[in-house]
Amino acid sequence: TQLLEQSPQFLSIQEGENLTVYCNSSSVFSSLQWYRQEPGEGPVLLVTVVTGGEVKKLKRLTFQFGDARKDSSLHITAAQPGDTGLYLCAGGGGSNYKLTFGKGTLLTVNP
Amino acid sequence: DAGVIQSPRHEVTEMGQEVTLRCKPISGHNSLFWYRQTMMRGLELLIYFNNNVPIDDSGMPEDRFSAKMPNASFSTLKIQPSEPRDSAVYFCASSPGLNYGYTFGSGTRLTVV
């Protein structure tokens, strides 16, 4: 069974601070996705990374896929209250249709 | 596009009653997934359909759960009889392919009392 561990589980910071959240596994994934979920809504896809070492940027968010494709990180620069939400990583295994989800990091950005 | 549409948004029912959750996927997406989300267990895959055919139902907790997809635009998840431990948020998601990611609906919050 492929497992994804996310850390930290909870993170509360002030507006303007930088932060990094992590997604780790002992398994290799062919692709890794990050989602953000707001209260009362479903997760929304932010990015997909497929190549070991790949870095993608989405405005103030930077996503990195580990060289061995077993881990990933999400860095947010100058966090804003609108960044508040549950950040989920999900790993895919090639032709395996199943996405394995981590339990998420609950981020609160205080004004 | 209206996205993935789920109904109802909230459902409160008594133990032993039948519950039916509904989902309309995005047109053209050939994969449909039902997930359950709880604080303790996170997102759990219940069942996956491809081209309306159930491919993997190994995540369905027990025989009380059943799912159907009679056509490309509609799916149901039924719980009969419902139990308090079934209380959770149930999500439907659709996708045109794995590396495209999933589009989730807004979920149905089920409370069984």
> Tell me, what's the pLDDT at B27?
95
DSSP reduced 3-state for B82: coil
Q: Is the pLDDT of residue B22 over 80?
A: yes
Of B45, B55, B104, the CB nearest to A42: B104
- A9 pLDDT tier (thresholds 50, 70, 90): very high
- Which segment of A72-81, B9-18, B32-41, B90-99 scores lowest on mean pLDDT? B90-99
Q: What percent of chain B has pLDDT over 70?
A: 97
Return mean pLDDT, chain B: 94
Q: Which two tokens stand for residue A76?
A: 């947010």
Q: Which two tokens stand for residue B48?
A: 């996956």
Angle A67-A42-B91 from CA coordinates, rounded to 5°: 105
Query: Residue range B42-54: average pLDDT?
Result: 93
> Tell me, what's the pLDDT at A1?
61
How far is the C-alpha of B84 from the C-alpha of B97, rounded, in Å? 35
> Tell me, what's the pLDDT at B100?
77
At CB < 8 Å, which residues of chain A contact B? 31, 33, 35, 40-45, 48, 50, 88, 92, 96-99, 101-104
> Tell me, what's the pLDDT at A54?
94
> Tell me, what's the pLDDT at A101?
92
Q: Are strands B108-112 and B53-56 parallel, antiparallel or unpaired?
A: unpaired
Burial class (CB in 10 A: 0-12, 13-18, 19+), A71: buried
Distance of alpha carbon A60 from its chain centroid, rounded? Answer: 14
Residues 6+ apart with CB under 8 A from A51: A65
How far is the C-alpha of B54 from the C-alpha of B67, rounded, in Å? 8
Q: Which chain B residues have a beta carbon less than 8 Å from that of A104?
A: 42
Is A33 in contact with B101 (Cβ distance < 8 A)?
yes
> Tell me, what's the pLDDT at A30?
87
At CB < 8 Å, which residues of chain B contact A? 4, 31, 42-43, 45, 48, 50, 55-56, 91, 93, 98-107
How far is the C-alpha of B99 from the C-alpha of B6, rounded, in Å? 23
Q: What percent of chain B has pLDDT over 90?
A: 87
Tracing tokens 């549950």 back to the chain, one arrives at A86
**Per-residue pLDDT tens over the stretch A14-60:** 999 999 999 999 989 888 999 999 999 999 999 999 899 999 999 99
Residues 6+ apart with CB under 8 A from B82: B13, B14, B15, B16, B17, B18, B19, B64, B110, B112
CA-CA distances (angstroms) from residue B51 to A13, B27, B73? Answer: 44, 12, 10
Question: Do A91 and A25 touch, CB atoms closer than 8 A?
Answer: yes
